[in-house]
Structure 1
Amino acid sequence: MKRSLPLALLLTLPVFAAAAPPDGFEQRVESLRKEIGVPGMSIAIVEGDKVVFAQGFGVRKLGSPEKVDADTLFDTGSTGKAMTVADLAILVDQGKIGWDDKVIDRLPGFQMYDAWVTREMTIRDLLVHRSGLGLGAGDLMFVPRTNLSRAESVKRLRYIKPATSFRSGFAYDNVLYMVAGQLIEAVTGETWEHFTVEHLFKPAGMLHAVADPESHFADPNRAWPHARMNGGLRGAGDQQVLDERDELGRNAAPAGGLSISANDLSRWLRIQLAGGKLVDSDAHLFSEAAQKEMWKPMVLQPVAPRPDSLKATQPLFDTYALGWDVRDYRGAKIIWHGGAVFGELTAVVLLPDKKVGFSITINSEDGEIINGLMFELLDHYLGAPGNDWPAKFRDFKKQRVAEGLKAYNAKAATPVKVGPSLALAHYVGTYNDPWYGNIDVGLAKGKLTIDFKSTPRMRGALDHWQYDSFVTRFDDKTIEPAYVTFAINADGKVERVTMKPVSPLADFSYDYQDLSFTPVETKK
């Protein structure tokens, strides 16, 4: 029989959950990994200040024998936004910046499309997706790769038209985290990469984590990206190894360009649960006051309805804080963020009231295993009845892919056999979009071609679709195909080129619909 404690003492003790992992968790994960077809993954679980699970599963690369372990580097995508925020928190603690400082006061030359927004935007505004930019606006400046510098990308933001008014609502973006990275360099004289390694990773003891591609590729213990590419649409078919060069452009690294292992993520989780206190030290990476700011909900996110099978996972509220999502699940507060780069996915999850945190990383795009295990672990720590969430998320994904293929195939069968209006040579030329840059439309062997000049290896043929619309399926098959439409003026000349994704399931970062190219006048 346990000895009872005085009520006053009980009220001051942290609330710890039952020992983790759940019974048979290791076998459960490996079974799901094989069933779903995920090449490799890693998981870290912490309770309070203790790491109770840190392990790898499967292989780093299909066709190779090297196993994933707890030190294998995975690209962690947008979970790195919270670390860019932590960089800023360190500067706030040092008195070098304030969360509500105007960006233009800290980053001279910063400019948005609207002059009033430029004057009013604060550092906090950069981090909470309420700028008025549309979903994923400007992502083609770094997706899937780029030759643009971070400074040049930030300079081009002034040409991206807003979709809504400033601070009126939520629309997820990456480009303003590029601004945050550039601001850190302006304030400190250190690149975001150097600052993150020297002032965050090293003090935190995250000694395998890296912030630049060169360090990532230099580590042999790294995961390779994989995706399902041969089933008609991305997300359908068999798993294929992707080219490692298909990572996001380094200009956008402050939005999600970190590579981190399970062991290092376990230290990050412990620091978060300890209010910024370093592992095995009385020192702090950032103050408790800074962490409260980071976790403070700032913007309401719309809650998308989920099917009946997943209804219990639908939050009553969903908000965005500084680099973190804050929502509810079964009456508990969840602090979390997902991360995605092409070929790898991550989730970092905190149950602060239970002093529990965990991370899940995979080297494929099979998000159903991350979502499924995330809610299984949440149920375990919240004492909720068991539920086969991975199976339900898998069924939901299968349905979405099937519906997407049906819609795609229906559209592919119905183009109008009219056009093009002009001889192909009249479409040839260089066209410019102010924020993206140039495309070249050429003519080779009787077919039009397209080449995106700010994106290495993004080129392909233009096959006539209908009227003055063409479809390009890029030579690099990992890039989402697009419809390319030429608008012809009264003089029979091309005056504008617009685009949209072919796939109804295309990732929002392929923001073709935001492009508007006009002819570049050539000197005679």
Structure 2
Amino acid sequence: MSCLTSRPLRSLLAVALLSVLVPSGFAMAEVPIDFDAHMEAAMHQYGVPGMAVSIVEDGKTVLAKGYGVRKLGSQELVDADTLFVLGSTTKAFTSAALAILVDEGKIGWDDKVTDHLPGFQMYDPWVTREITIRDLLVHRSGLGLGAGDLLFVPRTLRTRAEAVHALRYIKPATSFRSGYAYDNVLYMVAGQLIEAVSGQRWEDFVREHVLKPAGMNHSTTDEVDHFATSDRVQPHARLDGRIRGMGHLEMLDERQGLPQAAAPAGLLASSANDMARWLAIQLNHGALPQAGKDGARLFSEAASQEMWTPQVLTPISKYPAPLDALTPQFSAYALGWDVEDYRGITILEHGGAVLGEQSLVVLLPSRNVGFAMQANSEDGGVVMKGLMYELLDHYLGAPHHHWVADFGAFKKQRQAAAIVALDAMDLAQAKIKAGSGKPPLPLSGYVGKYADPWYGPIDVSQDKARLRIDFTKTPNMAATLEYWQYDTFRTVWDDKGIEPAYVTFALDASGKVSRINMKSVSPLADFSYDFQDLVITPQP
């Protein structure tokens, strides 16, 4: 679930960056005349079965359309009402739900979390006392990148409340408010807080107070409603290559995706028509498209300004050529939005990814333009990111450039570099393993009941001549441990969609296991597989 200095940027710079006035004499550009053909060609080239695109200009929907098919081998077409799971672009909806409660006077952005969730705890008692509702949304808590995601990735038996309770055992990576590291678990806390304040589950509150007033009548917040709708896509990915993202495209089991507990961070599902309404509301600073003379609003203009105001500076990683022109000069995170510049103009955007589906939402306030894209394949990132900049160039009057092709080349370069790194590791391992070809201890020496403070129980067992590891709170997250080298094994998960990991047993002076460490095998593994954060020790 994607993609995530600590001082709020309450300055004239922030105000200037967030100006939404349309320049005088500016005429709205139409959708590129060859857009449909370009979309379909890009989808075919990069293996994306289906997509949806919404474009809003000056409050009007100029495009809300589906492309391709809902699943491989099917003739069921994606239409403007077909549902896609949004992933982390859900975070802006959670922020909007909180904004509604702020407008009602029930909470304040800078209220302490414990004012509304008295039993809430972080690892550090001082952080527990000081963390605010605003802090939950801006990735500056001190947690590491993706910390705690294994509580619900790829699925879990835990409730949302149980996952939130486990936060107290996750050690911080940095001091509070000293840096930026993207997380998902604190948006789950935000969901719990909404329930505590409103008396409604996050799912029900967002459906009744965000989606229904917005006229987003096809969107869903609950997997029960989602699976009851026939007009939805199926997720796709490439799993049979050396690393995820390489090999043959295949359809995934949609019911093996993220659990309902993680919904406030990334499980809202929507369509092209509904996302067009969401774009219009955002660009209208909370005013509903059907407001008319009564001035009906989803949230106040003050709340809109608050949600768009940069809060935390985010690190800038320079793109290599030929993408280097896309590297921003300014990058920050607001309340559920990334804020950066492109060609000297401020944009707000956020991406999302969850089990075989991806999404992207982009706002260009100074031109009163917004667009959203969804894809039912993990290959969709190349198409969406490239189209994002092609559309931005179009609406900014810049020369056309085929950014989709450049992002495709960039992805291939990253994959090739990852394969080189894996080959080097395999070669080194082969030389070390050539000596004995077996682990130092008999397999029974590694068997036992283990646990991590925040994840919970992890079992290692012996099944005849092989070791097995089982993450017992995560259904179907079990693997055979193939011997790698020294006291290190490599997972072969029963579910091939889970990122492979190295499992290293540390021995004490008596030759007994004192600790287990893990890390992902692939250099490109999703950060939500935060194996490296586990501290697994034997249990009595």
Q: Would you call these one fold, judging by a TM-score over 0.5? A: yes
The answer to whether the aligner puts 1:278 opposite 2:288 as a matched pair is yes
What does residue 87 of structure 1 align with?
97
- Unpaired runs of at least 5, structure 1: 1-10
Question: Residue 12 of structure 1: CA displacement?
Answer: 8.5
The answer to whether the aligner puts 1:219 opposite 2:232 as a matched pair is no
Maintained 8 Å contact 1:14/1:355: no
Are the structure 2 counterparts of residues 16 and 78 from structure 1 closer, same or farther at C-alpha, using a change threshold of 3 Å?
farther
Tell me the secondary structure at the aligned position of residue 143 of structure 2.
coil
The answer to whether the aligner puts 1:445 opposite 2:464 as a matched pair is yes
The answer to whether the aligner puts 1:177 opposite 2:177 as a matched pair is no
Question: Residue 18 of structure 1: CA displacement?
Answer: 2.8
Maintained 8 Å contact 1:16/1:355: no
Pairing of 1:155-304 with structure 2 (within 5 A): 155-281=165-291, 282-304=295-317
- What is the CA–CA distance in structure 1 between the aligned matches of 2:478 and 2:131, rounded to whole Å? 36
Maintained 8 Å contact 2:22/2:367: no
* Cα deviation code 1:397-443 (max 9, x no counterpart): 01111111121122123212255221111111110001111111110
- What is the CA–CA distance in structure 2 between the aligned matches of 1:465 and 1:130, rounded to whole Å? 37
Are the structure 2 counterparts of residues 225 and 16 from structure 1 closer, same or farther at C-alpha, using a change threshold of 3 Å?
farther
Q: Tell me which moved more, 84-93 or 56-65.
A: 56-65
Match 1:469 to one of 472, 488, 497 = 488
- Unpaired runs of at least 5, structure 2: 1-20
Question: Residue 14 of structure 1: CA displacement?
Answer: 7.5
Count of paired positions: 511
The answer to whether the aligner puts 1:424 opposite 2:443 as a matched pair is yes
Pairing of 1:317-466 with structure 2 (within 5 A): 317-366=330-379, 367-415=381-429, 416-417=432-433, 420-466=439-485
Maintained 8 Å contact 1:15/1:355: no
Tell me the secondary structure at the aligned position of residue 482 of structure 2.
strand
Are the structure 2 counterparts of residues 263 and 379 from structure 1 closer, same or farther at C-alpha, using a change threshold of 3 Å?
same
Tell me the secondary structure at the aligned position of residue 428 of structure 2.
coil
Maintained 8 Å contact 1:17/1:381: no
Maintained 8 Å contact 2:28/2:57: no
The answer to whether the aligner puts 1:37 opposite 2:56 as a matched pair is no
What does residue 16 of structure 2 align with?
none
Tell me the secondary structure at the aligned position of residue 350 of structure 2.
strand
Tell me the secondary structure at the aligned position of residue 109 of structure 1.
coil
Maintained 8 Å contact 2:84/2:269: yes
* Cα deviation code 1:246-298 (max 9, x no counterpart): 21122111011111001000000000010100111120000000010000000
- What is the CA–CA distance in structure 1 between the aligned matches of 2:468 and 2:132, rounded to whole Å? 43
The answer to whether the aligner puts 1:313 opposite 2:313 as a matched pair is no
Maintained 8 Å contact 1:16/1:47: no
Maintained 8 Å contact 1:134/1:163: yes
- What is the CA–CA distance in structure 2 between the aligned matches of 1:17 and 1:29, rounded to whole Å? 25
What does residue 6 of structure 1 align with?
none
What does residue 132 of structure 2 align with?
122
Question: Residue 26 of structure 1: CA displacement?
Answer: 1.0
Tell me the secondary structure at the aligned position of residue 409 of structure 1.
helix
- What is the CA–CA distance in structure 2 between the aligned matches of 1:19 and 1:379, rounded to whole Å? 11
| Letter matched to residue 346 of structure 2 | K
Are the structure 2 counterparts of residues 17 and 262 from structure 1 closer, same or farther at C-alpha, using a change threshold of 3 Å?
farther
- What is the CA–CA distance in structure 1 between the aligned matches of 2:371 and 2:343, rounded to whole Å? 18
| Letter matched to residue 323 of structure 2 | L
Q: Tell me which moved more, 421-430 or 217-226.
A: 421-430
Match 2:28 to one of 5, 9, 18 = 18
- What is the CA–CA distance in structure 1 between the aligned matches of 2:203 and 2:423, rounded to whole Å? 44
- What is the CA–CA distance in structure 2 between the aligned matches of 1:250 and 1:402, rounded to whole Å? 36
* Cα deviation code 1:191-221 (max 9, x no counterpart): 0000000000000000000001111111111
- What is the CA–CA distance in structure 2 between the aligned matches of 1:249 and 1:515, rounded to whole Å? 21
- What is the CA–CA distance in structure 1 between the aligned matches of 2:251 and 2:219, rounded to whole Å? 23
What does residue 504 of structure 2 align with?
485
Maintained 8 Å contact 1:20/1:53: no
- What is the CA–CA distance in structure 1 between the aligned matches of 2:49 and 2:175, rounded to whole Å? 43
Maintained 8 Å contact 2:90/2:266: yes
Q: Tell me which moved more, 403-412 or 117-126.
A: 403-412
Tell me the secondary structure at the aligned position of residue 522 of structure 2.
coil
Question: Residue 482 of structure 1: CA displacement?
Answer: 0.5
What does residue 502 of structure 1 align with?
521
- What is the CA–CA distance in structure 2 between the aligned matches of 1:14 and 1:94, rounded to whole Å? 36
- What is the CA–CA distance in structure 2 between the aligned matches of 1:14 and 1:289, rounded to whole Å? 24
| TM-score using structure 1 length | 0.96
Maintained 8 Å contact 1:343/1:363: yes
What does residue 57 of structure 1 align with?
67
The answer to whether the aligner puts 1:517 opposite 2:536 as a matched pair is yes
- What is the CA–CA distance in structure 2 between the aligned matches of 1:246 and 1:295, rounded to whole Å? 34
The answer to whether the aligner puts 1:105 opposite 2:90 as a matched pair is no
Tell me the secondary structure at the aligned position of residue 497 of structure 1.
strand
Maintained 8 Å contact 1:17/1:47: no
| TM-score using structure 2 length | 0.93
Q: CA RMSD in A?
A: 1.2
| Letter matched to residue 33 of structure 2 | D
Question: Residue 331 of structure 1: CA displacement?
Answer: 0.7
Tell me the secondary structure at the aligned position of residue 145 of structure 1.
coil
Tell me the secondary structure at the aligned position of residue 346 of structure 2.
strand
TM superposition outliers: structure 1 runs of 4+ over 4 Å = 11-17
Are the structure 2 counterparts of residues 407 and 497 from structure 1 closer, same or farther at C-alpha, using a change threshold of 3 Å?
same
Question: Residue 183 of structure 1: CA displacement?
Answer: 0.4
